[in-house]
Amino acid sequence: MDIIEMKNIKKDYPLGETIVHALRGVDLSVEEGGFISIIGPSGSGKTTLLNIIGCIDTATEGSVKIADEDITALDDKKLTNIRLFKVGFIFQTFNLIPVLNLLENVEFPLLLMKDKSWSRTDIRARAEKCIDDVGLKDFMEHRPAELSGGQRQRVAIARALVTKPQIVLADEPTANLDSETGANILKLMKHLNETENVTFVFSTHDPDVLQYASQVIKIKDGAIVEKAGSERQSRSRQAKGKSAGRGVKGGSRPKGRI
């Protein structure tokens, strides 16, 4: 199943007397369970694309479906709900709340959901599990300032996954990290993609990402110029009982040119 379907997406930003055409007719289908990387030069439209998928921004033209729901014409309240329930975000600068400790930061999206079926104990248990999954069990009481960059990004990953979203969007999640820490973050994301069957879509400038991604989308001047790694490959992997995007080296390595 395609979890994201974008058709002819255009995004214009007014800038003084002129208009910036940030996206110029993007068609994109993302399979459930995929690990999709968006690459392209600065200003090419990567953040704009992620923001539209994540309902942070709306398209000027075109249609977007998330998990079979057409979000193109939804009002603000419904878009907020999709942001809360279906999507998790990881940002380049982590965006943690400095006055909250690690556990409180990760619990925060669950509290925002105001879902009465979650008791306070359930919320705590879920947050603790997600923190354990990213290897930070011993740091629950720490505040973000007491953690390294890589640890902070791990917290952000736990926070993105705590609500059990179907899609996690990450805008240059490794850009503020040294290359070794960045590679570890990508491996962790890939591991969670496989074990939790969460679809990841992330932008990056990191060439190492090619060995992890099930599909690489190259964007330039607001248009997709190359797609590598076919949807058919991941479908046939699923048919063989493996999840889409599985297999780090070799198996799922994009076959086309990047």
Ligand X SMILES: Nc1ncnc2c1ncn2[C@@H]1O[C@H](COP(=O)(O)OP(=O)(O)OP(=O)(O)O)[C@@H](O)[C@H]1O
What does the binding site for ligand X look like in residue numbers (CB under 6 A)? 13, 15, 20, 22, 40, 42-48
**Pairing relation of β-strands 87-90 and 69-70?**
unpaired
Cβ atoms 31, 231 nearer than 8 A: yes
Backbone angles phi, psi at 118, to 5 degrees: -95, 115
42 binds, among Mg ion, ligand X, none (CB under 5 to 8 A by kind): ligand X
237 binds, among Mg ion, ligand X, none (CB under 5 to 8 A by kind): none
Cβ atoms 249, 243 nearer than 8 A: no
Question: C-beta of 106: minimal distance to ligand X in Å?
Answer: 26
* Burial grade of 189 (CB within 10 A; 0-12, 13-18, 19 or more): buried
Nearer of residues 204 and 234 to ligand X, judged by Cβ: 204
43 binds, among ligand X, Mg ion, none (CB under 5 to 8 A by kind): ligand X
Applying CB under 5 A, what is the total number of residues that bind Mg ion?
2
**Contact set for Mg ion, span 29-58 (CB under 5 A):** 46-47
Question: C-beta of 219: minimal distance to Mg ion in Å?
Answer: 11
224 binds, among Mg ion, ligand X, none (CB under 5 to 8 A by kind): none
CA-CA distance, 174 to 149, in Å (whole number)?
10
Task: Note whether 234 binds Mg ion by CB under 5 A.
Answer: no
The whole-angstrom distance between residue 166's C-alpha and the CA centroid of its chain comes to 10
